[in-house]
Structure 1
Amino acid sequence: MRRYWFAVLGSAFLVAQVALLFVIGVPESFDWPVASLLAYGLAGAAFVVAGVHRWLPLPADSVPWYWFAGGGDILLGLGMLASGVSTTLSDDSGSLLFGILIALGSLVLVFIGIDYARGGVHLDLSTFE
């Protein structure tokens, strides 16, 4: 797997966010679903930068590509956490369990993102080279 797949994934996230913004319009209040969508959009931008890092005028030694990939995973996990909180706060008892499961699953993405940002202590980042 190569790093350009981060750019493909990030572009898909950004296109989905623009489509949602076009369909539902600009939200009037900032609540948990809006925080989730914002985190997904920022994750997409971070993934795009991680995927096209070698063509950007950034010094490779000072800002490595895996910082952006890790930040994208962390933001993706935080977006899922906000989505889980939003689901948990709804009135349905079935959505309480679903929201808790989403929130717990989001922590896995956050920990993967932290490991990416650290340079791949537990995950092998050389597969993306």
Structure 2
Amino acid sequence: MSLLISLLLLGIVESIIYYERKHDMAYLLSLGLSSSRLFFLSLCEAILLGSIIALGGCLLSMIAYEYVNHVLCIQDYFSFSLLLKPIFFSRYDLYIIIFFIYLVMSVLSVLRPIQKMMKITKTDVLREE
């Protein structure tokens, strides 16, 4: 559930970033930057932002897992223990899957605003303040 909510928030943040930066993109396009280069630049920025968020989320969940299992010794208080079972190769496969889900969703959340930015005319964007 938290993964879905964070992906929704990531999409909203990415959309707001690109709607607020449409003046900057219009300036770059008017100075001679090609639209394909601007698209590649935005895609790299989304990949970097998505990887930072995914890495932070995975590290935080790893720390919480180790804290609950080994520091709090949950097995002493309850009759169960938290276990990560291997999905494909190791017990950290779930973190790798979540990392790639964040990357894909961050890239997908950038595609729509960038396509809208490429369709609007640069002069209309530069005229409005």
| Range of TM-score over shorter length | 0.3 to 0.5
TM-score by length of structure 2 reads: 0.39
Higher Cα Rg, which structure: 2
TM-score by length of structure 1 reads: 0.39
